[in-house]
Amino acid sequence: MRRGSPWRSRTSLRDDVTRPTILVTGANGQLGYEIARLLPAHGEVTALDRSRLDLADVDAIRATVEAIRPQLIVNAAAYTAVDQAEGEQQVAEAINARAAGVLAEEAKRRDAVLIHFSTDYVFDGGASKPYDEQAPTRPLNAYGRSKLHGEQAILATGAAAITLRTSWVYAQRGHNFLLTMRRLGAQRDQLRIVADQFGVPNWSRQLAEATTAIVADGLPALAARAGLYHLSGHGQTSWFEFAQAIFGDAARPSLVPITSAEYPTPAVRPAFTVLATAKFEQTFGFALPHWRDMLQRCLAAPD
């Protein structure tokens, strides 16, 4: 079993005479940024941020795929503003569902492989053990519904697509819980943190390493393993415990556990969304570490 760190390629495409042409969308996002840094070791990468490819524009998607002629499309773009999505459901659907389906149609048209990311928020959180890929979905909010519709739109095309559901993504850049904690911790002596939602935090770099590792096995292997997978670190935690791990031994801020009811948000969040990752690990021979190890590695990373 390959482990998340350090990354090693068994069959690097670096030596191949024909390096695959790869299109990465959402290149400025937490995950897209890391993928765009790692994938050039395994192909000719064109990584486009929103300013160069707006997924709200279907014609632009088709024209871009036509121009680049990718053999692999990695869709790291998404509408990820969970609360905002409640008031912008059509925009969320356009990016997370329609555009995902169009990318899959284009992949199918040219026999390319699509790697797409989805979310733990497709589940209602009522389970008490980790969700596997067969578990029934029932999103509680507009973001989760739009992401589920994206999974379904991809499936309907029959494209060779790998859909990777993950959870609680953070990084040293972008918008995420780690950076929010740091910002608020510098401003306040006390932070009240939700302690009754359970999941697994994932560092975007290690998700990108896992993505790169499966690409390194080659596109035929990837196409043969098309399907839905859960990709996440091991263990489980609450937002409160995650915050404790972020601040470590720091004297301040003091952290106060609260319930979800004490922190109302426009979007309802599921209470428990730990993902069972055995299918990904057995299929690809690659496992992400425990969430605490990922966090330590992220906190120690220079950038």
Ligand X SMILES: NC(=O)c1ccc[n+]([C@@H]2O[C@H](COP(=O)([O-])OP(=O)(O)OC[C@H]3O[C@@H](n4cnc5c(N)ncnc54)[C@H](OP(=O)(O)O)[C@@H]3O)[C@@H](O)[C@H]2O)c1
Does the protein bind ligand X through residue 267 (CB under 6 A)? Answer: no
Counting residues that bind ligand X (by CB under 6 A) gives 27
Q: Which stretch binds ligand X (CB under 6 A): 29-37, 38-46, 219-227, 264-272?
A: 29-37
Is the CB of 29 or the CB of 43 nearer to ligand X? 29
Catalytic annotation, pick one of 33, 79, 131, 143: 143
Q: What angle do CA 29, 270, 97 make, to 5 degrees?
A: 45
Structure tokens at 59: 């014609």
CB of 211 to ligand X, least distance (A): 11
How far apart are CB 148 and ligand X at their closest, in Å? Answer: 11
Residues whose CB falls within 8 Å of the CB of residue 118, separated by 6 or more in sequence, listed in order: 147, 148, 150, 151, 163, 164, 165, 166
Q: How far apart are CA 27 and CA 32, in angstroms?
A: 4
The DSSP output letter for 190 is E
Q: What is the DSSP letter of 43?
A: S
Active site residue 143: yes
Is 76 a binding residue for ligand X by CB under 6 A? The answer is: yes
Which of 4, 22, 24, 30 is in the footprint of ligand X by CB under 6 A? 30
DSSP sequence for 103-132: HHHHHHHTT-EEEEEEEGGGS-S--SS-B-
Question: By CB under 6 A, is residue 166 in contact with ligand X?
Answer: yes
Pick out residues in 106-125 that bind ligand X (CB under 6 A). 117, 119-120
5/3 Cα distance (integer angstroms) = 6
* Residue window 33-62: x/- pattern of binding to ligand X, with contact defined by CB under 6 A: -----------------x--xxxx------
Decide: is 211 part of the binding site for ligand X (CB under 6 A): no
In the complex with ligand X, which residue's Cβ is closer, 167 or 237? 167
Between CA 295 and CA 288 the distance in angstroms is: 12
Binding site for ligand X (CB under 6 A): 26, 28-32, 50, 53-56, 76-80, 95, 117, 119-120, 147, 166-169, 174, 204
